[in-house]
Amino acid sequence: MGILDGPLAQSIYDGFKGKLLSGTLRKNVEGDSGALDGKGDPIDVAPTDYDTEGFVDNYDDAYRARAGIPQTDVMVGIFGKSIDGVIVEKDDIASFTRSGVTTWYQVRRAKLDPAGALWDCQSFVIPEPAS
């Protein structure tokens, strides 16, 4: 827990609630076996979905150039309090629906701000995954 956790994160989330896109965060959770295949990938994984709220935004061209962010990547913002206690990690996937169209994104990098209010996820668009 950081000094800014809790009330500040909740206040920020409350201020945006109702103005955000509804979405889903899908994490692949290792099953009971914990076994790995020949490539080192977990054999027994099960997707777990979490309802979330957030937004999708483009990176500024100057920031994109300085940080080495590919042109295909976007910033997916996921509000921490909408998935309280869940940690967003590389290769998690998220979807958001805007104007009736659902778009899926795979997380390349994720970081949480010091207040625990917003996950900044450098992500790219992927095809809709199989359920």
| Domain residue extents for the chain | 7-34+41-126
> What pLDDT sits at residue 115?
81
- The sign of the torsion formed by the CA atoms of 121, 122, 125, 126 equals negative
> What pLDDT sits at residue 33?
56
Along the chain (131 residues), what's the average pLDDT of each consecutive run of 10 residues?
Answer: 61 74 86 67 77 94 94 95 92 93 96 90 94 68
> What pLDDT sits at residue 44?
62
> What pLDDT sits at residue 37?
72
CA 122 to the chain's CA centroid: 8
Q: What is the CATH T-level fold of the domain 7-34+41-126, as seen in this structure?
A: Thrombin, subunit H (2.40.10)
Please tell me the distance from the alpha carbon of residue 87 to that of residue 84, in angstroms, as a whole number: 9
Prediction pTM value = 0.78
> What pLDDT sits at residue 30?
60
> What pLDDT sits at residue 114?
87
> What pLDDT sits at residue 14?
75
